């Protein structure tokens, strides 16, 4: 099984970034970093065969693939991950390589989020949208098999992505983790935990 998460942000802006005040100076890049850690790590170890695609409106798409990083050097704290990610974005925009950055294995994609969804749909991925107003996750998860490749779309901070007409026209399955509202990072961990129970 290959497991992929998509998350999008229109707010991330690192033009005034400072490590002393990450949430306010980065347009909530800390939220994205938390999601990356939730997806790629399990305790102090990197997961296997998990990707998270981060779509930042101002900077493009970044692909974090657990297989591309080294467990001993991957930054497992939110502050370190954010700081290295900011350096990576800045160096990439200047087309120079930050030699000591453990995130140099991040891949850039020219695909926008909708084209990326279509690409994985053609590649026979089972694609699900996390939406509080949707079918219960437990009703769907029991049908998932260990050989299935899965893509979960987490949306964005504003909720605009879930309301997007193009996304709705794709007729993808919407899933809910229940009546409670969860942070995106918690949603990722819950999905992984549930998949571990059945696979």
Low-confidence ranges of the chain (pLDDT < 70): 95-99, 135, 157-159, 199
pTM here? 0.93
**Structure tokens given for 63:** 């692909």
Domain 113-198 has CATH 3.40.50.300: no
Per-residue tokens: 55: 């779509």
Q: HEC string of the chain?
A: CCEEEEEEECCCCCCCCCHHHHHHHCCCHHHHHHHHHHHHEECCEECCCEEEEEEECCCEEEEEEHHHCCCCCCCCCHHHHHHHHHHHHHHHHCCCCCCCCCCCCCEEECCCHHHHHHHHHHCCCEEEEEEEEEEEHHHHHCCCCCCCCEEEECCCCCCCCCCCHHHHCCCCEEEECCCCCCCHHHHHHHHHHHHHHHC
**In terms of DSSP bridges, do strands 107-109 and 126-136 run parallel, antiparallel, or are they unpaired?**
unpaired
Domain ranges, ordered by start, for the chain: 11-44+67-109, 113-198
pLDDT of residue 104: 92
- The sign of the CA dihedral 146, 177, 165, 65 is negative
In 3D space, the residue among 115, 104, 6 whose CA is nearest the CA of residue 50 turns out to be: 6
Q: Please write the tens of the pLDDT for every residue from 103-150.
A: 999 999 999 999 999 999 999 999 999 987 776 777 777 788 888 999
Question: Which residue is listed with tokens 């999905």?
Answer: 191
Q: Is the dihedral of CA 45, 116, 141, 145 positive or negative?
A: negative
């Amino acid at each position: 099984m290959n497991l992929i998460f998509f998350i999008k942000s229109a707010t991330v802006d690192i033009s005034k970034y400072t490590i002393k005040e990450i949430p306010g100076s980065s347009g909530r890049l800390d939220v994205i970093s938390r999601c990356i850690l939730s997806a790629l790590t399990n305790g102090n170890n990197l997961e296997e065969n998990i990707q998270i695609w981060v779509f930042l409106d101002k900077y493009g798409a970044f692909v974090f693939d657990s297989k591309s990083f080294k467990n001993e050097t991957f930054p497992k704290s939110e502050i370190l991950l954010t700081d290295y990610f900011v350096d990576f974005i800045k160096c990439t925009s200047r087309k120079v390589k930050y030699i000591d950055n453990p995130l140099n294995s991040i891949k850039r994609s020219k695909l926008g989020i909708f084209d990326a969804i279509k690409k994985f749909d053609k590649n026979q991925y089972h694609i699900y949208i996390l939406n509080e107003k949707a079918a219960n996750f437990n009703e769907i998860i029991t049908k998932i098999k260990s050989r299935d490749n899965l893509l979960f779309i987490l949306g964005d901070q504003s909720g605009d992505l879930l309301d997007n007409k193009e996304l709705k026209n794709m007729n993808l399955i919407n899933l809910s983790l229940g009546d409670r509202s969860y942070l995106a990072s918690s949603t990722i961990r819950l999905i992984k935990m549930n998949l571990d129970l059945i696979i």
